[in-house]
Amino acid sequence: MLSTDPLFDNLAYALGLGLGGAPGEVIAACAGVADGDDDGWYDSWCTTADRLVTVADRSVAGGHRSAAARDTYLRACGYYAIAYHPLYGAPIDDRVRAGFARQTDAFARANALLDPRGEPLEIPFEGTTLPGWFFRPAPTPEPRPLLIVTNGYDATLHETYLAHAIPAIARGWNCLIFDGPGQGRPLFEQGLHLRPDWENVVPAVVDVALARTDVDKERVALTGWSLGGYLALRAATGEHRLAACIADPGLFAMDSGMVGRLRAAGVSEDAVATYPDLPPDVLATVERGIAASRAQRWAILQRGFMVHGVDSLAGFLKAISPYTLEGRLADVRCPTLVCAAESDPLSSSADLVADQLTAPTTRLTFLAAEGAGDHCEMGSRALYNLKAYDWLADVFG
């Protein structure tokens, strides 16, 4: 355990150690921050990240444009994300935007040391643009297969680079990462909230990808992690230019977990049957229970309200109801990998997803005994990369 605060511990473990942070740096940043001290947490992690940027800057200024300097910038990039996550909420805290800006800058400095460098993208979308990056291995005359990565509830494209682009590039594939409505810059700076119809979001990304001469148009895959497991599947129901889809995890609907929380809170079956239009007295009781739990308060009253652009629990419940794959999975046409982590509640619907898919489907379970049983296999991303990307390589041929 890195912190006795469950929210802090999860962030430090998942975004810090899970995505390649240095254990000593993570432990030092957590030390001395009291439980629930979000201000102190932000300051400690930003101080750590600022120090790393300074160290890497000095190295580069000394003529050492090295992989070590690049990786130092990338660790700082991840640490800035850890810093501002507890401050999620509506209206958006200025420190969230400031931390994200510093994260973006650290990522750009790391990219300047890549060979070849990633290419920043502005993806045309409904009168505005979505931010993205295109990465490729060393250029070759032949087009390469492409992995598109869609995010989930609270990560940004910078974390998807660490989790997905690095292993994809190492396998000789192109990789396109982006943030859609409700994620990263579109949320923090453009005011675009999350939406369930990812089949109307991903085609804009695929259009940009297929316009490139370095992409093999017959081998384009989409992967999504966390809530992105749902978003990727939803996208594949309408975007039929995809050659493969990975859902990590196979999430069928957002509100299944909420219904479970209602029952656990002692809400009567008669009241549950009115979901999402719960009676006011039930809503008040449920909200008090959520507010009493630091992790639940952050997940729903802070993050959920901010991402969906709502200001009440009633609004939140109505906002998440359309996030379902009910009656849609038969529309997925490409080979699909449905992942589940043994100890992750979001993985509980993976069997339901796999059963309703009619396209060629592979089911993959990650176990706690393997060190990969937690959400998005954060305890062993290396094992996930081995198994999932081997599957994708087989599909790509």
Active site (catalytic) residues: 226
What is the rounded distance in angstroms from the CA atom of residue 234 to the CA atom of residue 142? Answer: 31
Place of tokens 């609004």: 315
Contact 173, 137 (CB under 8 A): yes
Phi (first) and psi of residue 188, to 5 degrees: -70, -35
Is the CA virtual torsion 376, 379, 382, 386 positive or negative?
Answer: negative
Please report, for residues 47, 114, 330, 334, the alpha-carbon distance to residue 347 in angstroms, rounded to integers and kept in the order given.
36, 35, 20, 21
Local structure of 57: helix, strand or coil: helix
What is the rounded distance in angstroms from the CA atom of residue 112 to the CA atom of residue 134? Answer: 14
Local structure of 304: helix, strand or coil: helix
Per-residue b or e along 57-79, where b marks 16 or more CB atoms closer than 10 Å to that residue's CB: eebbeeeeeeeebbbbbbbbbbb
Closest CA to 138 of 172, 175, 176: 172
Number of C-beta neighbours around residue 39 at 10 A: 12
Encoding tokens for residue 145?
A: 């297969």
The amino acid at residue 289 is G
Place of tokens 């660790």: 75
- Give residues with Cβ within 8 angstroms of 98, minimum separation 6: 84
Contact 323, 196 (CB under 8 A): yes
State the first-to-last Cα distance of the chain, in angstroms, to the nearest integer: 42
Number of C-beta neighbours around residue 189 at 10 A: 13
- The strand pair at 361-366 and 336-341 is best described as parallel
What is the rounded distance in angstroms from the CA atom of residue 127 to the CA atom of residue 135? Answer: 25
Cα within 13 Å of Cα(260), Cβ side: 9
